Structure 1
Amino acid sequence: MNIGEVQNVNGRLTGSIATRTIDLPRIGLRKVESTSDRAPLYEILTLNVARRWVQIGALWEAASKKTGEAFLAGSVDDPGLPEPLPVALFPTEDGGYTIAWRRETLRAEFNGGFGASQRSYDERGQSGFGESTAGADGSLMGRNDLDDEVPY
């Protein structure tokens, strides 16, 4: 899901990020000068309430496993956020970037996803709520202990 953009204006990368709960109307990317191969490529900056530039994230160069396409990956973080917001920035033709929110994919503690199985519904079998008690016409089947006269 696209949540912002960055334009290259006179050699400066500036833009915005907006989601349902986050509104950063002015962000900037500052190139990181480092000899370390583990250093980020850019710092993500924004104006705070006192109109000072503060760092809220960092971006590293990444590549798509499927296509090999280069992009920037990192996160936006602030003490006011419940958790860091992972983002990916994809280059545009004008030298800027489209900012996309990216969900962390597989999590081992939840069996490969955010609490959901990676298998389709049909492959799950009968490990859920069990078989239906409704017949093809919607009538109650296989349960004789329910009293239809008692209102819910």
Structure 2
Amino acid sequence: MSPNERNEDLVRLTSDVVSAYISNNAVPHSSLPSLISEVHASLTRLGAAPQEAVEEPKKPAVPIKKSVTDDYIVCLEDGKKFKSLKRHLSTHHGMTPDEYRAKWGLPSDYPMVAPGYAAARSALAKSMGLGRKPAPEVKPAKAKRTRKA
């Protein structure tokens, strides 16, 4: 859109807004020029390119070193305690564990599950025999036939 077309659109929109306002409100003739200029300025600002918002780096809700304990992991976004952080991140913050680690500058091996909880689950799985290949079945050896003499 050329600047001339844009200006024509702004004038048309300004006249539409001002005429609608005047038809529903009592406005003295002396305030019409200021009303028109204010509406035009507002529409011009709305049509301008949006300014980039400068985002300040967020501080974690708790210190990173204190976020992992044996019983729970503290979410750096909101400070809540969890045994497993992955589901909370996806449902409440719309993040994957990798995005979370990148946002807070965490190492790639930063846990998403409390260490004590992971150990308890591991012990339970091992006691049930999970994670092992089944032992091959031992077939009984066939008895050798002997000849009768």
Q: Aligning the two structures, in what range does the TM-score lie when normalised by the shorter sequence?
A: under 0.3
Who wins on radius of gyration, i.e. which is larger? 2
Normalising by structure 1, what TM-score?
Answer: 0.22
Normalising by structure 2, what TM-score?
Answer: 0.23
Which protein has the bigger strand share?
1
